[in-house]
Amino acid sequence: MNLIFIPIVLPIIAALALLLMCEKTKYLKELLAIGTSAVALLAAANIFLLPVQAVSYAWLGTGITFTLRADNLSAFLLLAVSLFSLAISVYSFSNPNKGPAKWFFFNLLMTQGFAAGAALADNLLAMLFFWEGLLVFLYTFIALSQTTYAAKRTAMKAFLINGVTDLCLLAGITITAYIAGTMSMSEIAQNKLTLDYGWSMFAYVLLLIGAVSKAGAFPFHTWIPDAATDSSAAFMAYVPAAIDKLLGIYFLARASIYLFTLNGTMQLVLMTLGAVTILVAVMMAFVQKDYKRLLSYHAVSQTGYMILGIGTLNPIGIAGGLFHMINHATYKSCLFMTAGSVERQTGSSDLSKLGGLWSAMPVTVLCFVIAAAAISGIAPLNGFFSKELVYKGTLDTGYTIFFLAAELGSFLTLASFLKLGHAVFFGERPENLKETKEAPFSMLLPMLTLAGICVAFGFGARLPTNWFISPALAGMNIPHPLLSGFHPDKLYFVSVIVILAAVANHMIGLAIGGGKPSKSSDHIHYAPVLKETYAMAERRVFDLYEVLMDRAVPAVSLALFKADRFFDWAIDAAPSRLSGFFGGTSRRFHNGSYPLYMALTLACAAVYILLAGGLK
Amino acid sequence: MDLPVKMLTMAVAVPVFGAFLVPFAARISTPVRNALAVLLGLFTFLAAASLFTTVLGGQTSTWMLSFPRGFDLILHADLLSVFMASVSAFVSLIILIYSLDYISHYEGQTEYYAMVVLFLGSMMGLVFSANLLWMYVFWEMTGFCSWRLVGFFRSDKDVAKANKTILVTVFGALCMLVGIIMVYFHYGTLDLRALHGQPISLLAAAFILAGILSKSATLPFSTWLPDAGVAPSTVTSLLHAAVLVKIGVYAYARIFGVTFAAPDAFSNAVLYIAGASALVSAGAALIETDIKRIIAYSTVSQIAFIFLGLASGNKTAFVGALLYILMHSIAKGGLFLCAGIIEQNTHTKDITRMGGLFASMPLTGVAFALCSLSVMGIPPFGGFFSKYLVFSGAAQNGNLVVLLMFLAGAVMTLLYLVRLFYKIFLGEPAGHDCPKEGSYTMVASVLALAVIGLALGFLIYYPSAYAELLTNTLGVNLQ
């Protein structure tokens, strides 16, 4: 058996085996999941280091094959997926907030297997098969993580948003495959498609919708903040923070660089989408009062940087986008893990109820500080380097406005993490948290590992760029840019200014908020105009899903229902009334009067003769 | 007579004549009657399935009974008819097994079993007939059985709905008869094998189409189907989901897919009708609150996808449509049978009075979810592949408006099925006393259908290879 099957098949088999296990067994399920992810990670590392043969089977009739191919980008993605699966399995070993262990690990392993399949598939239909298959587990993941009705509703929201955009992806793939004449991505890439005519433009836009929705970009992101409150931290650290981002940005890069040659208009569309996502989500993140919800908005906002990077269409920007993808998964997963361990140890994720935990949870604080510094783009951590690449790529396109938007996003990111860190770990510790202890080792280990990666990829940024990013770009036939190295150039000084501005902003916020860190965003939250906007956002006026489900769907379906009732009338009530009318009319003539019958007969004969004669 | 021909004749004759033995068996005892009915169903399925070996070997088998003036009764087993007969007989068999418990508290069981078996026999006759006139005869026989079965409960309302069913379908069938007569006067024969590849006039095609649309519950003749939801759930499952509504689709595939070369304008018109049907019924499914009416509207909507595949005029879409017939029969049959369990145990069909049933009916809930996923076309379920192929064919057809209509239809499918599942199984309980799970036989039947839907997704190679072989061998005028 080819090694390429192991990362896909093994987790799925293990997940099915889990279903057979009794819920009461202790640690067996956890150990099985950890063991499976570890083996899958080893297999993935093997595939990454020693390229394996592509495999291909006849699948759907004779025309469509099932092809798995591990090129540089796919192998890199597979490695990342496997790494995060292992990290989350270990992290969830003794985390009671994840819902029933059996179902948690079932969903986790299934998600891992399907995500690995989506990463490795070369055939577009095979990719769609795995990609859309994730929907089921997304739903069960959220629905089973808590017993509340809110969890079920959020699960439905996540399912529907992703289901609809997956259908767009399906339609996009059918058209792409038809235009290209093949379903194999590597074959399409030999002869890239252009956006010269309507159908290919339509196909690309559909693919784009599928990709950015999976990545959680504006306006398809709205289930993520809801899931932050209605599901577990482990789920958030795994799916929206890691797996979805990896797959979404992976396919965005594939579609935008590998399958299609984009034009200037589409470049502008992508960059605008990226900038809008950065700003809208970070504005929302800044004013959040819940640990996980705040992080979830950042998970959306950071997607904007990746889309912006890839949207630049120049090698440096694309490299930055891909590098940011892996960096973001690392620190955001780590941040959600810190949220999970704080929640486990204190029982709360509400910022106003937390504080001063640094002495009680020193390791968690350390991880948080590293990851928060990384997401805020502070040198020399990994986030700094990938953001610099994105900025450089953006400036190279000549659209300075996007650069400014991205820097503004950085400013707000840092400001909100100052607020978050200050509120949770520093300041005064509430009375009821005096007894708080550090999280167990099984939770600290993956956190430390990911924080370590943040540091390693920062100080040694040459390592990931040379090992992962450059080969991936080379695999997509993109000229090799100079990526690594720390340059104290203008961009570096801009980042220092952004840091100073964010610190100043935090000071102002604290002064206005009466020294309470959880209120340090109020000066912006309740500023004129913004106050009303935020209030509308709280009422979900800008949530596309809620607006559509509340307004458009009922109205449209009612109109269609009326149409259905009209057809029902046309085949039911109308014919019976018509026949009733003729029946009633003809009954009046059946009164037994012989002269009337004779008169009718003669009249009809006359009409017939006239008509017959007239027709001749 | 060699074995395949024997099997072919018996697949039709055994259920048709066996149905009349059911009342006599009932005289002996209830278990004998039930056993006879299930055995007849089982035999029919096995006989139909045994023909796979013949047709896969590239052969066909034919049996003929001569009548004057070209009205011969011709039974012909080819790739399409064996496929259709096996799928129908299989689902009917599951429904018969499920009925053993479901129907056991009602009156009129003997007639019920006789009619279901007769229906199955007529279906076999219709599918295997290679003569349009005999197709019409069996067509009306299925209509008669459905009339008796829809009005099973015999209240005024039930009878009115049953009358609506038969009046609409007979009206369509008479239109079709006019079309058949036009074909007869044009070609002097009704033998479909002789008519292979011939052109057909637009008017005759339109008349035949009216019959097809009325039987398959497509706009503008769609609303008899949700109304027929007053029948027992087994009947709705048999009629709405698995078998009866597929008659029209089968006739379309048989007449316009593998026999006549239909004019392009005709195929285009069918695409638009189907698109409108998909949208209108999906909208209605979102408004309705009666569980069976919702699933029935869903059937109307899904049938439109099959028409999309059949009328798109290329091989990909045709293969997709054939797979769609298979996947939809299995999944939608399962959904109706789940609805039967729910209806029987909650004593209501109103979804606003359900909610939170997953806690007390987990197995039914899982089966319902799996079948819904297959209908929605989510991988790894079989429905994914059929939906993909149909969309792929529509994209090849190059009609953007039709593609968008069906994309919207697919989105609405997601919406109404997710809503339905949420309202029944998750949502907040609405004042019911936590009904119990269905009986062993019933739950096993629905789980079997759900698991088959999943298995078909993993083993998609075999059905798709069959459908492709069928399309390549028999398809007419496909690109």
Q: Any idea where the domains of chain A sit in the sequence?
A: 262-521, 546-615
In eight-state DSSP terms, residue B106 is: S
Nearest residue in chain B measured CA to CA from A562 = B284
**Chain B interface disruption, residue of A12, A60, A64, A178, most B CBs within 10 A:** A60
* Among candidate residues A281, A300, A292, A285, the one with its CA nearest the CA of residue A521: A285
Q: How far is CA B60 from the centre of its chain?
A: 24
| Alpha carbons B11 and B86: distance in angstroms, whole number | 10
pLDDT band at A485; cut points 50, 70, 90: low
Asked whether the beta carbons of residue A62 and residue B284 sit closer than 8 angstroms, the reply is no
The number of domains in chain B is 1
A residues 162..201 contacting B (CB < 8 A)? 163-164, 167-168, 170-171, 174-175, 177-178, 199
Distance CA B152, CA B163 (A): 12
Structure tokens at A185: 């991505």
Cite the DSSP H helix spans in A347-399. 362-375, 382-397
- Return the H-helix or E-strand segment holding A342: helix A315-346
The helix (H) or strand (E) run that includes residue B433 is none
Measured between beta carbons, the chain B residues lying within 8 angstroms of A61 are: 319, 464-465, 467-468
Instruction: Copy the structure tokens of residue A114.
Output: 């399907």
B86 lies in some domain:
no
As a dihedral over the C-alpha atoms of residue A326, residue A328, residue A332, residue A333, rounded to 10 degrees, the angle is -10
* Partner-chain residue, chosen from A58, A133, A561, that has the shortest CB–CB distance to B284: A561
Complex-level ipTM = 0.91
How many whole angstroms separate alpha carbon A250 and alpha carbon A582? 69
Q: Which of B453, B476, B473 is nearest to B465 (CA)?
A: B473
Q: Which residues numbered 562-591 in A keep a CB inside 8 Å of some CB on B?
A: 563-564, 567-568, 570-572
Tell me if the bond preceding B232 is cis, omega within 30° of 0.
no
Which of helix, strand or coil describes residue A217? Answer: coil
How many residues are present in chain B? 479
Within 13 A of A500's CA, how many CA atoms are on the CB side? Answer: 6
Interface mutation target, options B164, B323, B326, B388, chain A, most CBs of A under 10 Å: B388
Instruction: Round the average pLDDT of chain A to a whole number and report it.
Output: 86
* Torsion angles phi and psi, residue A454, rounded to 5: -55, -45
Q: Is residue B160 part of a domain?
A: no
Tokens, residue B68: 């004057």
Gap between the Cα atoms of A231 and A222, Å rounded: 14
Using pLDDT thresholds of 50, 70 and 90, give the confidence band for residue A92.
Answer: confident
What SS3 state is found at B385?
Answer: helix
pLDDT (0 to 100) of residue B40: 92
Q: Which of A19, A571, A577, A579 to mutate to test the interface with B (most CBs of B within 10 A)?
A: A571
Q: Which residue is closest to B168 within chain A, CA to CA? A: A571
Q: Are A435 and A454 in contact (CB under 8 A)?
A: no
Q: What is the largest CA-CA distance in chain A?
A: 115
Q: Are A185 and A67 in contact (CB under 8 A)?
A: no
**Contact criterion met (CB < 8 Å) for A163 and B389:** no
Q: CB-CB: which of A136, A174, A571 is closest to B391?
A: A174
**A507: closest CA among A499, A515, A495?**
A515
Residue type, A564: D
* Chain B residues touching A126 at Cβ < 8 A: none
Residue A169 CB contacts under 8 Å (≥ 6 apart), including other chains? A128, A131, A132, A206, A207, A209, A210, A211
Distance from C-alpha of B188 to C-alpha of B299, rounded to nearest angstrom: 37
Q: Which of the four pLDDT bands, split at 50, 70 and 90, describes residue A487?
A: low
Rg (CA), chain B: 21
Q: Provide the shortest C-alpha distance from residue B414 to chain A (in Å).
A: 7
d(CA A372, CA A378): 9
Note the pLDDT tens digit of each residue in A515-559. 777 777 778 878 778 888 888 888 887 888 888 888 888 999 999
CA distance B314 to B395: 10
Residues of chain B with pLDDT under 50: none
Yes or no, beta carbons of B283 and A163 under 8 Å apart: no
- Identify the sign of the CA torsion B195, B198, B201, B206: positive
CB B38 within 8 Å of CB B117: no
User: From CA B35, how far away is CA B14, in angstroms rounded?
Assistant: 15
Pick from A303, A502, A336, A327: nearest CA to A422: A502
Q: What is d(CA B388, CA B380) in angstroms, rounded to the nearest whole number?
A: 12
Task: Report pLDDT for A426.
Answer: 84
Residue B458 lies in a domain: yes
pLDDT digits (tens, 9 = 90+) for A411-432: 889 988 888 888 888 888 888 8
- Give A124 to chain B, closest Cα distance, Å: 12
Residue of B nearest to A59 (CA): B461
Please determine, for residue A481, whether its predicted confidence score (pLDDT) is greater than 70: no
- pLDDT value for A478: 76
For residue range B352-377, what is the model confidence (pLDDT) as tens digits?
A: 888 788 888 888 999 999 999 999 98
pLDDT grade for A354, boundaries at 50, 70 and 90 = confident
Closest CA to A12 of A39, A43, A48, A36: A36
A64: β partners: A60
Domain range for B363 is 288-479
**Both tokens assigned to A571:** 């085949």
| A184 φ/ψ angles, rounded to the nearest 5 degrees | -85, 125
A497 contact B CB<8A: no
| 3-state SS assignment for residue A140 | helix
Q: What is the pTM assigned to this prediction?
A: 0.91
Q: Distance, in angstroms, between A56 CA and closest chain B CA?
A: 13
The conformation of residue A193, written as its DSSP 8-state character, comes to E
Residue whose token pair is 């004759």: B13
Confidence of residue A482 (pLDDT cuts 50, 70, 90): low
The answer to whether residues A137 and A110 touch, using CB atoms and an 8 Å cutoff, is yes
Amino acid identity, position B261: A
Residues 6+ apart with CB under 8 A from B179: B203, B204, B205, B206, B207, B208, B209, B210, B211
Spatial distance between the Cα atoms of B31 and A118, rounded to a whole number of angstroms? 52
User: How do residues A231-279 score in pLDDT, each as one tens digit?
Assistant: 888 888 898 888 999 999 999 998 888 888 888 888 999 999 999 999 9
Could you say which of B410, B418, B467 has the minimum Cβ distance to residue A160?
Answer: B418
Task: Judge whether B10 lies within some domain.
Answer: no
Three-state secondary-structure class, residue B64: strand
**Degrees to nearest 5, angle at CA B48 with B8 and B465:** 120
A451 vs A304: CA distance, rounded Å: 22
Question: What is the DSSP code string of A8-40?
Answer: HHHHHHHHHHHHHS-TT-SSHHHHHHHHHHHHH
CA-to-CA distance for B387 and A444, rounded, in angstroms?
45
The C-alpha atoms of residue B189 and residue B134 are separated, in whole angstroms, by 12
Least confident of A94-103, A340-349, B111-120, B392-401: A94-103
CA-based end-to-end distance of chain B:
38
Q: 3-class secondary structure for A477-495?
A: CCCCCCCCCCCCCHHHHHH
pLDDT confidence of residue A559: 92
